[in-house]
Structure 1
Amino acid sequence: MASAENRLIQQLPVEVRRRFLDRCEPFDLVLSAELSVRGQPLTHACFPRTGFISLVIDVDSHPPLEVGMVGRESMLGSELVLGLAKTPWRALVQGAGSGWRIGAEALRNSLADMPALLDVVQASLLVRLHQQALASACERFHPIGPRLARWLLMSQDRAQSDTFHVTQEFIALMLGVRRVGITMAAGGFQDSGLIEYHRGEVTVLNRTALEAEACSCYVADKQIHAELTAHRH
Structure 2
Amino acid sequence: MSVNRPSTIENQLLLRLSPTERDRIGAQSDCIELSHGSVLYVSGHAIEHAYFPRSAVICLMATLPDHQPLEMSLVGNEGMLGASLVLGVSSAPMQASVHSPGSCLRLSRVQLQAALSEIPELRTTLNHYLHLQVMQLAQSAACIHFHDIEQRLARWLLMTHDRVHCDHFHFTHECLANMLGVRRSGVTLAAGLLQHQGLIHYTRGEITIVDRKGLEAVSCLCYSALSV
Q: TM-score normalised by the shorter chain: which range applies?
A: over 0.9
Q: What is the distance in 1 between the residues matched to 2:118 and 2:18?
A: 14
Aligned sequence identity (%):
42
Identify which of 168, 181, 184 aligns with 1:179: 184
Alignment check: 8 A CA contact 1:55 1:66 kept: yes
Q: Distance in 2 between matches of 1:85 and 1:175?
A: 29
Gaps of 5+ in 2: 1-7
2: CA distance, partners of 1:34 / 1:71: 16
1:55 aligned partner = 60
Q: 2:28 aligns with which of 23, 26, 44?
A: 23
Contiguous gaps of at least 5 residues in structure 1: 226-233
> Cα distance, 1:61 vs. partner?
1.8
Distance 1:194 1:45 in 2: 36
1:76 partnered with 2:87 = no
Q: How far, CA to CA, are the matches of 1:192 and 1:4 in structure 2?
A: 32
Say yes or no: does 1:114 pair with 2:119.
Answer: yes
CA distance in 2, matches of 1:89, 1:174: 15
Render the CA deviation track for 1:189-210: whole Å, top value 9, x for unaligned: 1122111112322100010101
Matched, 1:159 2:160: no
TM-score (normalised: structure 2) = 0.94
1:210 aligns with 2:215: yes
TM-score (norm 1): 0.92
Show the counterpart of 1:93. Answer: 98
Question: Which is bigger in relative contact order (C-alpha 8 A, separation at least 6)?
Answer: 2
* Residue type of the alignment partner of 2:196: D
Question: What secondary structure, in the 3-state scheme, does the structure 2 residue paired with 1:88 have?
Answer: coil
- Does residue 105 (structure 1) correspond to residue 110 (structure 2)? The answer is yes
The Cα shift of 1:51 comes to 2.2
State whether residues 52 and 81 of structure 2, in contact with CA within 8 Å, keep that contact through their aligned partners in structure 1: yes
2:136 maps to 131
Aligned residues: 221
1:187 counterpart SS class: helix
What is the alpha-carbon root mean square deviation over aligned residues? 1.1
CA offsets per residue over residues 64-85 of structure 1, 9 Å max, x none?
A: 1111110000000011011111
The 1:4–1:202 alpha-carbon spacing in structure 2 relative to 1, beyond 3 Å, is closer
Residues 37-90 of structure 1 show CA distances to partners (whole Å, capped at 9, x for unaligned) of 111101100001102011001123222111111000000001101111112311
